[in-house]
Amino acid sequence: MSTEAGRRRPGPRRALTEDEILDAALSLLDDGGADAASVRGIAARVGVAPNAVYTYFPDKAAVVKALVERLLGEVDHDVFADRSRPWRERVEALALDLRAHLSAHPGAVGLMIGGPMDGPHALTLNERLLELLADAGLDRTGAARAAYLLIVYVFGSIALEVAAQHAPGPLPPESDRIDARTRAFAATPADRFPRSAAAAATMAGYVSTEQYVWGLRRILDGITAGVTDVPGDPDDGRGVLRAAGPVPEARTSRSGRTVDVLDDAAG
């Protein structure tokens, strides 16, 4: 009661908001890479003394954490709530949206995967994925494992894509980066690395959207390998799927054995 929400605290009005500080941090990050978001830089950007920042956040780690949370929150709730669309489409839309949002701030990506990522927005992302994968016909445990597999893939892809870029600042267009990689891989010594030299064009495309979607689809294929497809639209795998626990009738799958092993640990 005494500390109700609308009451102003004593002392002078705050010159800033937390959001303005996060804005400044993000723009510094975008301009100068992961190391550019210094407390002093943020303070200068918003026009206060460096230690004034500590009125809003206890330390720099809290600034980073809040920024990561905000970036994760920008993607939630929108794209994949529409349950009329097939679940695979929604997963792909979510994955592409995450990639677009995060790789727009390459300097922030390193901070993201450098911390625990256990805030409410991260949990919301997990929750949405669980809903999505339940629609796909996966059981509770399978959906959770699949959700983390997807999270690992999405954040791993983005992290490696950003890390492949040497210079700070915004990511160049995808085609430019692939061209640069093509030129770099052209120097691969074919005597020591014959297969890599032969696959140089594909390797240059490791950072492409096509590779990203290709890998995502292989994962979705693997996730649904133990789940039987309802016939009706075999062309694109968009058919509604129904759950199959041990699936004793459909192609004795390795997933049956795997699930048992995992249940030992998680249960």
Partner DNA sequence: ACAGAATCTGTACGCTGTGCAGAGACGGTC
Partner DNA sequence: GACCGTCTCTGCACAGCGTACAGATTCTGT
Helices (H), 74-139: 87-103, 106-112, 120-135
User: Tokens 């041990």 identify what position?
Assistant: 246
Closest CA to 72 of 98, 43, 46: 98
C-beta of 103 vs 157, nearer to its own copies: 157
Q: How far is the CB of 120 from DNA (least distance, A)?
A: 23
Strand partners, 241: 229
Strand ranges inside 49-168, DSSP E: none
Measure the CA–CA gap between 121 and 172, rounded to whole angstroms: 28
Measure the CA–CA gap between 113 and 118, rounded to whole angstroms: 11
Measure the CA–CA gap between 16 and 18, rounded to whole angstroms: 7
Sign of CA dihedral 30, 109, 166, 59: positive
CB atoms closer than 10 angstroms to residue 84: 5
Q: How far is the CB of 170 from DNA (least distance, A)?
A: 20
Element (DSSP H or E) covering residue 173: none
How many CA atoms, within 13 angstroms, populate the side-chain half-sphere of residue 114? 13
61 is in the binding site of which of DNA, its own copies, none (Cβ under 5 to 8 A by kind)?
A: DNA
Q: How far is the CB of 219 from its own copies (least distance, A)?
A: 5
Q: How far is the CB of 61 from DNA (least distance, A)?
A: 6
199 is in the binding site of which of DNA, its own copies, none (Cβ under 5 to 8 A by kind)?
A: its own copies
Residue 158 near residue 103 (C-beta atoms within 8 A): yes
198 Cα distance to chain centroid: 31
C-beta of 82 vs 221, nearer to its own copies: 221
254 is in the binding site of which of DNA, its own copies, none (Cβ under 5 to 8 A by kind)?
A: its own copies
Q: How far is the CB of 235 from its own copies (least distance, A)?
A: 7
189 Cα distance to chain centroid: 34
Q: How far is the CB of 101 from DNA (least distance, A)?
A: 24
Q: How far is the CB of 144 from its own copies (least distance, A)?
A: 4
C-beta of 69 vs 92, nearer to DNA: 69
C-beta of 66 vs 146, nearer to its own copies: 146
C-beta of 14 vs 242, nearer to DNA: 14
85 is in the binding site of which of its own copies, DNA, none (Cβ under 5 to 8 A by kind)?
A: none
Measure the CA–CA gap between 92 and 112, rounded to whole angstroms: 21
C-beta of 5 vs 187, nearer to DNA: 5
7 is in the binding site of which of DNA, its own copies, none (Cβ under 5 to 8 A by kind)?
A: DNA
50 is in the binding site of which of its own copies, DNA, none (Cβ under 5 to 8 A by kind)?
A: DNA
Which residues would be at the binding site for DNA (CB under 7 A)? 7-16, 37-41, 43, 47-52, 54-56, 59-61
52 is in the binding site of which of DNA, its own copies, none (Cβ under 5 to 8 A by kind)?
A: DNA
